[in-house]
Amino acid sequence: MEWQSEADTSPSSFISEAQVRSLIGKPPATGAWRDGDPVGRRTFTDTGPLRLESGRSLGSARIAWESWGELSAERDNAVLVLHALTGDSHVSGPAGKGHATAGWWSGIVGPGLAIDTDRWYVVAPNMLGGCQGSTGPSSLAPDGAEWAGRFPYLTIRDQVAAQINLADRIGIDAWAAVVGGSMGGMHALEWAVTAPSRVKRLAILAAPPVTTADQVGQNSVQIEAIRTDPLFQGGDYYDARAGNGPNRGLALARRMALLNYRSATELNSRFERSWQSEISPLGAGGRFAVESYLDFHGNKFTRRFDANSYITLVEAMNSHDVGRERGGVASALSRITAQSLVVGIDSDRLFPVEGQEEIARHLPNNIDGSAPVVLNSGFGHDGFLIEDDAVSTQLRRLLP
């Protein structure tokens, strides 16, 4: 999802001078969108108080969202598109004021595309706890200071509850389709289980039914990388001068994550053992190209994301278990009434195909019976964001 994908699509093994120049200067203490920044295409909706699974509450939650297309008079053509961990509401369109990156699914959502905005009214919210306009750690708490480290623990179900409130506020009684990949796929599953009558079609891409111990373990190391940055200061860094935020910790967490977003095959074939410079890595100052790639994208990430939000969202991913308190995965998925599509990627090492197989096996109305569609891609987990043609082919089957 960087161009708001988990990683980038550039085929080059080297970081160009232009890319390096784009990062000249100290990064901000936070890359969060803040009140007073250009709004861009965002709409803001106060979804009211939210009681969280933890027992805590948010007195008021604001969701930033974008839309494309026109809502029909019958209000029956609305499609909800849910983003991955490091995405946001900017699904389609160019970068510009208020939007640091171009739309993360511009090849999927738009006029005449798989999610055709000439036909569908597409809504994409920034998830609760995020850092691009929705209420999150960088937002102001009732006392006038940022929530920072005080922001409450969120679960996937809490975030979906906020999205349900948003749908109520904007007058969408039922979605023609709910579509999500990766973390967005977790939300889509929760939508279909929590409010089955409100989801007519369902598309789950590269997402699991539960976050496994292996995945929680990998996430915990990323969180610790941020918390051990001396400039994290327990999450209270918003008044810091540029360059004095927890950028090293956040960039390190991002580099760790990137290794799971792409496949070993792609990294090995793309970079081999090439060097970023003519200096041998066996001598002083040498640097492998893959090291420069990870370093560049880690540093780039700090300019559009927030360290506290990263922790909040990763912990929400850790909470994901669609069968929790519902009698297990099979029992929970049996509640889903939507016509469903499940897509996995054969090289995905973040959320392997076994997870999509388990989801598909228990969906009552999966269009492929008891199996998922498995895309052949060398890009690993990021395939759902990169393989536009293959993903479009599948989505058109659900949205003919």
Tell me the per-residue pLDDT of 133-186, one tens digit each, with 9 for 90 and over.
999 999 999 999 999 999 999 999 999 999 999 999 999 999 999 999 999 999
The catalytic residue among 5, 13, 89, 182 is: 182
Q: CA-to-CA distance for 369 and 98, rounded, in angstroms?
A: 43
Q: CA-to-CA distance for 250 and 208, rounded, in angstroms?
A: 25
Active site residue 116: no
Active site residue 348: yes
pLDDT at 282: 59
Active site residue 182: yes
pLDDT at 284: 58
Question: pLDDT, tens digit, for every residue of 91-122?
Answer: 999 999 999 999 999 999 999 999 999 999 99
The catalytic residue among 158, 229, 321, 348 is: 348
pLDDT at 13: 46
Residues 6+ positions from 102 with CB-CB distance below 8 Å: 3, 4, 90, 93, 94, 95
CATH assignment of 17-398? 3.40.50.1820
Q: CA-to-CA distance for 150 and 171, rounded, in angstroms?
A: 32
pLDDT at 24: 60
Amino acid identity at 3? W
- With 0-12 CB in 10 A as exposed, 13-18 as middle and 19+ as buried, what is 12? exposed
Q: How close are the terminal C-alpha atoms of the chain, in Å?
A: 26
| Domain extent listing, the chain | 17-398
Taking only Cα atoms into account, the Rg of the chain, rounded to an integer number of angstroms, comes to 20
Report the chain (400 residues): mean pLDDT per 10 consecutive residues: 40 47 75 96 96 93 97 98 98 95 97 98 98 97 95 98 98 98 98 98 98 97 98 95 92 95 86 71 69 89 97 98 98 98 97 98 97 96 97 97
The catalytic residue among 99, 292, 381, 382 is: 381
Element (H, E) at 345: strand 339-345
